[in-house]
Amino acid sequence: MGKIIAIANQKGGVGKTTTSINLAAGLAVLEKKVLLIDADPQANTTSGLGFDTKAIAGATIYECLIGESDAHRAVLETEIKDLKLIPSHIDLVGAEIEMLQTPNREKVLKNVLSRIAPEYDYLLIDCSPSLGLITVNALTAADSVIIPVQCEFYALEGLGKLLNTIKIVQTRLNTNLAIEGFLLTMYDARLRLANQIVDEVRRHFPNMVFQTIIQRNVKLSESPSYGKPVILYDAASVGSNNYLNLAKEVIYNNESPR
């Protein structure tokens, strides 16, 4: 059974999508079978992997969630052999409302993925910047959650609310949900503030912060417009190295005997 990891933070622009794409690519390059699920109506993961979101002919996560498609039918191949994608579509905004009528509406994604998860080693879910029903579905389907935290002044803002949501999901919907780790993103070593944030987050969440820190790197922001993970766009870049290290850390944390 593949490990399902949600990438979540209701704060916008903290690096969820960048982490989803590049961690997934890193894991796939390290020969893990990876399924990336775009669960954000913005569909940035889908376009960041080179798909024209308006031109996807087959099913997307939306059709899967409303029960019109099996997950297998929505899977797309990517440039990396072991990296597959279930794309998103702007229609997904409507799914939150359509799913309100569904029995067990928080568990729809869990059921969708249960049929396909055994075929992969890792399934990553890129969440939207909200704590709405689809994000709750992602947290309910997941074994663990990665929380990207941007190294900026208000880094810790909003984390209380996110952790509270995680706690509610753990109590009512998914007792197994673990925090895989907080991931510091967009770190700029030239800024003293960035170092203060790193210290503060580590102090606040001891032993819960990934050792790997994602630096601010222009290649990471350029690569989506070329429809590629950074490792295919510039393998020698700092961003590519950072995400490969994160992939190794995730594999180590999950697969090395304790």
Ligand X SMILES: Nc1ncnc2c1ncn2[C@@H]1O[C@H](COP(=O)(O)OP(=O)(O)OP(=O)(O)O)[C@@H](O)[C@H]1O
The residues binding ligand X (CB under 6 A) are 12-18, 40, 42, 44, 129, 185-186, 214, 216-217, 220-221, 239
Residues listed for the chain: 258
16 belongs to the binding site for Mg ion (CB under 5 A): yes
Least Å distance, CB 67 to ligand X, is 26
Question: What three-state secondary structure class fits 3?
Answer: strand
For the record, the structure tokens of 220 come out as 């990471």
Shortest distance (Å) from residue 257 CB to Mg ion: 34
Which residues lie below 8 Å from residue 17, measured CB to CB, with a gap of 6+?
A: 40, 44, 45, 48, 126, 224
Instruction: Show the tokens assigned to 140.
Output: 């309910």
Which partner in Mg ion, ligand X, none is near 240 (CB below 5 to 8 A by kind)? Answer: none
Q: Which is nearer to ligand X, 117 or 127 (CB)?
A: 127
Among 9, 44, 47, 137, binds Mg ion (CB under 5 A): 44
Residue 43 vs 64, nearer CB to Mg ion: 43
- Residue in 2, 3, 14, 17 binding Mg ion, rule: CB under 5 A: 17
Tell me if 88 sits within 8 A of 46, measured CB to CB: yes
Q: Are 147 and 184 in contact (CB under 8 A)?
A: no
Alpha-carbon distance 2 to 33, whole Å?
9
Q: Which residues pair with 144 in a beta bridge?
A: 5, 178
Query: What is the closest distance, in whole angstroms, from the C-beta atom of residue 131 to ligand X in the complex?
Result: 12
Residue 1 or 163 with smaller CB distance to ligand X: 163
8 A C-beta contact, residue 118 and residue 72: no
- In angstroms, what is the minimal distance from the CB of 193 to Mg ion? 24
Contacts of 21 (CB under 8 A, 6+ apart): 36, 45, 48, 49, 126, 224, 229
Least CB distance to Mg ion at residue 24 (A): 13
Smaller CB separation from ligand X, 66 or 238: 238
Distance linking the first and last C-alpha atoms of the chain: 20
Q: Least distance from C-beta 158 to ligand X, angstroms?
A: 11
User: Closest separation between CB of residue 14 and ligand X, Å?
Assistant: 4
Q: How far apart are CA 42 and CA 91, in angstroms?
A: 10
**How many other CB atoms are found less than 10 A from the CB of residue 232?**
17
CB nearer to Mg ion: pick between 16 and 216 = 16
Cα 4–chain centre separation: 10
Decide which of ligand X, Mg ion, none touches 47; Cβ closer than 5 to 8 Å per partner kind: none
Task: Considering the complex, state which of residue 122 and residue 243 has its C-beta at the smaller distance from ligand X.
Answer: 243
Q: Should residue 135 be labelled a site residue for Mg ion when binding is judged by CB under 5 A?
A: no
Interaction of residue 150 with Mg ion, rule CB under 5 A = no
11 or 117: CB nearest ligand X: 11
Task: Report the interface residues with Mg ion, using CB under 5 A.
Answer: 16-17, 44
